[in-house]
Amino acid sequence: MPRDKAAGFAFTVTHTRGNARCGRIRTPHGVIETPAFMPVGTRATVKGLSPAQLRDTHTQIVLANTYHLMLRPGSEVVAHFGGLHKFMGWDGPILTDSGGFQVFSLADLRRLDDDGVEFRSHIDGAAIHLSPESSIKTQNELGADIIMAFDECPPLPAEGAAIMAAVRRTAAWAKRSRAAHTRPEQALYGIVQGGLDVSLRRECLERLVEIGFEGYAVGGLSVGEPPAEMYALLDEFTHELPAERPRYLMGVGRPLDLVRGIAAGIDQFDCVLPTRNGRKAYAFTSQGVLRMRNQCHQLADEPLDPACACYTCANFSRGYLRHLCMSGELLGSTLISLHNIAFYQDLMRQARTALESDEFDTWRAAFSDSPASCRCEEPT
């Protein structure tokens, strides 16, 4: 029998509407109400924000990056300090990715075969070998509540043979990841690959279910394909993931993408978009995306978003935030990033409330037609 139940980990679905659902994930460091958005803390920090500030945005869980922490400071250093929770001062749940995305994003620095990936460090050029076994060992030392099986994430579009090879390799690496996992209190998720080919997604999922995982992630999307093709894949495939396990859509993060993912049945999301855009002076609001360097905000005394109750919106004007951004002051990036994370967390709260009150379809339609969905690529 596959081992697919981690100690202290449980998932319960509490409400459904069509394929959409809300629920609770119990972990050793607290309960996560789903759907949930996970801010990305690549190097054991969500850029520009303290753990206390994250808590103020109602963030429940954060994500950290195995590849980057393996390079610096090293998982053994993090283990010396008692694991990621103590090291970064965050007492809530943490998820670590496997490093598999770097197989995709650092393609010019790596050599890939069935054994694993040979990297050249982007820091000093040193040769590093990452395999299912070393990825899991690193994640065991980091000590996150949820860890990810090592996978291959192919770019899109890609030739069918390349997608098939990635599915085969991902399934083989998932089996090795499960065998290498040694900490029973950490939940291990498998990652389903297959590009936009539903039959390959099903093949990959079948092999992962045979191995047995505490959760299942949809990987390999938002890597070059048009949004409409991603939505079609999610609508057709997501509900086939095991209903009794959390479902995680990796690296997808526009507001409209999240709502479409929730409608398809996704429970967890992560993306760098809120903080990356915050550092670029872009703010997500109920009125659309604002570019805070634009001249029109110079004398604006209203908050970023009158519908938002975050610290930034409660205390600072658009004019002041523009001044910070134009002056290169770090506080500007921090305040806009804080607001953006709060916007995303409020979006998740609205979705949960709509599901619990059986009003999800109405809420989804209204949101999708609103400026808050950020359909427009050009900010104001």
Active-site amino acid positions: 97, 270
Asked whether the beta carbons of 351 and 262 are under 8 A apart, the reply is: yes
Cα separation, 3 vs 212, in Å, equals 6
Cα separation, 260 vs 172, in Å, equals 31
Q: Which spans in the chain are helix H?
A: 51-56, 66-71, 75-80, 84-88, 100-105, 132-142, 160-180, 198-211, 227-237, 255-264, 273-279, 311-315, 318-326, 330-356, 360-368
Nearest to 233, CA basis, from 195, 190, 192: 195
Tokens 């997604």 found at = 201
- On the 0-12 / 13-18 / 19+ scale of CB atoms within 10 A, 306 is exposed
Cα separation, 39 vs 46, in Å, equals 7
Handedness of CA 284, 227, 111, 138 (dihedral sign): positive
Asked whether the beta carbons of 207 and 174 are under 8 A apart, the reply is: yes
